Structure 1
């Protein structure tokens, strides 16, 4: 900001004069700022109002349209020790009888305490071979999702075995502190139970040594089933088919085509790369690199030396070859370090390019005979290709052979294990404890129901079994939830009343004629409290008599006053003891507020007869149908006022787009007005400055003449 020193010669108050001269321009600018401020306040006022209207529209009003929001039923149990019950709108009113015969159980195995063969503590890192005493073995895990085999290897440890159990579909954990496995099914119920069975003698030994071998009906049934399988029978063949996944010509052909095309894409990308010399073909360039690359570091052989460890021993790689390194310090002294590093970088780059070329060329060579090449050079999957057909045949034969060997081994083991179970007392096992999966069973009104959980959904009732009733029987009583429906309607009317009152307050606000937003100078002349009251006066009146708000208010009041037919009879809110207090009896801005007769929370109507609750108890369908129609009509009419247009956004009651445009236009106008004020200030100051200069010269000349004559 320029600092002006004026009026020093003339003695005139130049700043006041300039300010007066440009005051009309400043006034225009101030009026624009005030108008923009008022617009921004109005935008905020509308945003708040729109939030309230949309909140009602998408909340209680939206829910009130659907009969399911009112069709509330309540259920009670004569003894809640045995069951919890809730009712949906479709539940039948009346009394029903319930017995709980069984509760659902999840298959669970608490393993026996185990130690290593050397009696040391077992942890997650302990190898299984140090517990079992053998280095191999195989077991099967059967769950509701299928059968998976786990091969026990020499290097497998406890944590890895636990992970395999999880992969097979179980919950599994090994507790280091207690030295036990804890294993369970993923879900409760008989059909979701699991079994752990051995595939061979070492597998059976592993189950025992790991403390997870138990004498239980589930495992015994699995061993017995396997022992009964005979090669050549349908049961045997079905089991065999389930133990391996057959390869298909379609998947195999697609796999080869995908590999070929992926490799071709990489070679095409390499050919298009501009980082290599394109005066050669790609094949020629790679051949050239293969010849030149090995010699890139030959010039630095004199700096190459054998690498030694901290003890001075020569370091060798895994193949027994001596490892070399380069003396970069010596290179730096000789001034060739940068050349060497560039050669190393070039060698690595060349080798990378060669590898991409060789790897993908090999893929293309290996897969080309398994696909059909299209006109675009891309591979197309061909299920009838002889090599594909032969590979599928070979693959399936190999998979079947492996599965058969495993199945035959399992059958042999099962025969031994089944006999072992029959002749083994539970006290001779590893002290593992097994809970078998069980379905729950209830009897409702004489009909028996089973489920893998304790939860049932039957004819509108949700039943959670908690305890077995034994010879006892409990009753379930279901009836219309009068209080629930009443509270639903009461909540809807409360939200409506809150909204219509706030709209009335804004629409009927007192006029703020003569009040405009204050400039900074005007604020400085007033106290903070006076400024606050001044601005509140304006803000409170921003939506006064607004035509858009008035239209919304009329829509709400008109819809609430409408009648709707239920059957052959018309009903209005007054039919249910719901009405306003009337124009003369209503408090200010509450002429549109509705009151429920007999509502204990309403001081105006609490003493009246509760007609609404009586009608809900005697004829809930009529009440529900009426309020659903009323809410649907109001929802439709409010929604039509919130549709998007060229001036307003979707679900917006006011012209928000238009106001945003107006606000931006004010920015431009204010900027132009400020420029005009500055331009005229500069103009007038320049004139006064010229006058001051002229006066100064005149005074100087006068002083000179006076000096001459004196």
Structure 2
């Protein structure tokens, strides 16, 4: 091959240029592309800034969310929108056991004094069982009984009828019978008793072969047991073994089968019970079994091959391999359900299809499908496709039924009750399914709660209610008098308000710090090339400067701060006081930027002498909800004027971090800006769009750079090729004129 041809090939494929010119082509091309790379680096730096801003905004969002959850969430014990967090009274019982019967929570308007409570009666729901009724009958038979045992049956692992599994209280064991004719049933009974005693301890499971049927019974009513079909271990052994002549794989009736699913079709594949000394022998057996006409056929879309001594499979379709169940052990009278492997239990299987359940009279539901009625509403069901769990979910999720069905594992029985309490709570249930579940009833009603307080009888439909500033929570009935003393105690309210002020100050200090943080515009994000020339410490110090001031003067945060300061010092309608009235004022130091200070003596006096007004200052609420006011400025103004300080601050924070949308489809202002992880806004915010646009720009700039780079190399390659030809011609001319001879 001529030198020019070699140079051309190297320049084109490997870019090894400069062979003829002596130029460092790579260095020259890199220099020529510096401006293009600089454009890419600039866009990547902008993208990094947007990513850092996203993190900074989400950090602010997290701080606001934590503050909100602590002081304004309805589930928080410190919820300042609730009078309970600012209660200035405590209740003490004369008896240590009184709280077991009734709970007493004084509110802001409670009256100090001693209260004697008598004749406590609990509000009840209408149900199918009245209090004191005997325990219901089990919905299924307590003893699992199979079909008649075939004493003449030959038991063998090759017949795949010598095993079943037994599970007691979560512990599962494989029960394996000896090969041979079943024969004497008393010997079978002895054998099984020994197996169960060994697995669970003496007497935990009783076995009987009376009347030619195999029965089991647990020692305790709280025990849960089931008899199930054993699994063939072929799945793990056939595809997990590395068979060799020295360590062959022997397949028996225990380990020769597995379930194979190709696409939407599933078949049980069974290999001959013999010894396999190589993976190749297994592959041959697998091909024969899979391509059997009764299975997937000759055109089966699956191939088997050897890899690292094991058998592996490939297919253009979705393939799954799983364990196959053994044949139903009918020899022992253990029959499978129509559509399922053997699964018999002493408790009802809530997930089993209703048609497969034998109820306590030994019969199935008399209809395959139908309906039942609860409180006048018909509910349809299909016994061939639905389970008891499906029925329970259907009833319990339908609020119009006003009823809840539950199952008690210990008694193996069901109950149903109204979701409301009181004499107006009613329950009427009918239908074949409800009858076999023991739920049928009619004309059932609940009872009202009753207490007598200092001689005054109070009747309510619920067990939790408020009266005259005190919330009562009735737990158990009693006729014995209970004495409660309500006394003033400002400690809890004082500590809650003081902690709120402390955390508020921390929050606005952080927010003020972010919007006032100095920006170092000379410190831009580092490129990968720049980082490669720096130490980790140098990179960290540089990026600390580069990240500083990213939220400087941010309007979203500034607006939230301004609104919170204004909300704390605007008057609250009907409260009769403001923050300064209870000793909370703004710091006189300019550098504190709106932080609050507390005159503790003044706050304690306000709580002790005017606690109801303090509670109103924080907790007053408007008839207008936050969501009603969200898209209506007039309603928003009305809500603001009528709300206490807690609801005002809560609304301001919600405006910034809420995950719900307004009529324009907008979420909280901070989420619109940077989103929140785990919420849809994580990928629909302004900064995410910026980052996506930067990614598109980088992709396009990289494409152009690659094209330019390729074009430059082609030019240098052409130059090198031309120079190579010139050198060849010059060498030839020199030789013709005797230029190299002596």
The TM tier, using the shorter chain, reads 0.3 to 0.5
Larger of the two Rg values belongs to structure: 1
TM-score by length of 2: 0.44
TM-score by length of 1: 0.46
Hey, which of these two has a bigger chunk of strand by percent? 2
